[in-house]
Amino acid sequence: MTMTCISRRVLLGLTTALLLNTAALAGSAPQVKFQTSLGDFTVEVYPDKAPKTVENFLQYVKDKFYNGTIFHRVIGNFMVQGGGFTPDMNQKATREPIPLEAKSGLKNDRGTIAMARTSNPNSATAQFFVNVVDNNGLNAPSPDGNGYAVFGKVVAGMDTIDKIRAVPTGRQDVPNTPILINSATLVK
């Protein structure tokens, strides 16, 4: 065997190993399945892009915080927001806010999940929203200079999100009939 042939085999072997490792890493992102009164959806979250946000979100999932909450704000041409209120519109107590991670490179595109917050950029706790359209104005830097922290995306059940976005709403964009989050479970 010539040195060139050996070099090619080594290069081919290294390339194959790299591709397999990359594929394994791509499939290793944690996933959370939401079971709602309108159907199920699953989100994949990216701790490599938004580590504090993902850690915070997954801790709420592990604590079963989201079970029994509702989607309390639905704007059909914008987003659906949930994870903080009970069906009788009582806000649940949360842990301390987390720092904003809006400059991760992830964009507020259709199907992505991001943290809801107040005008204080470092105020996100438990509430999240799913973008139902591309919301470029929420990306960092947004008009308020900060943006909203995307930390994952819907990988299954976007049809459920579309059902949620289509429900009739009343005052303050609250659905007329509560959309219950029965459970949020870490599945991967």
Domain ranges of the chain: 28-186
pTM summary value: 0.85
When pLDDT is averaged across residues 150-169 and rounded to a whole number, the result is: 98
DSSP 118-173: -SSTT-B-S-EEEESS--GGGSSS-TTSS---EEEEEEE-HHHHHHHHTS-B-GGG
Q: Alpha-carbon distance 125 to 106, whole Å?
A: 19
Domain 28-186: give its CATH architecture: Beta Barrel (2.40)
88-121 per-position pLDDT tens digit: 999 999 999 999 999 999 999 999 999 999 999 9
Residue 27 has pLDDT above 80, yes or no: no
Residues 50-79 pLDDT 10s? 999 999 999 999 999 999 999 999 999 999
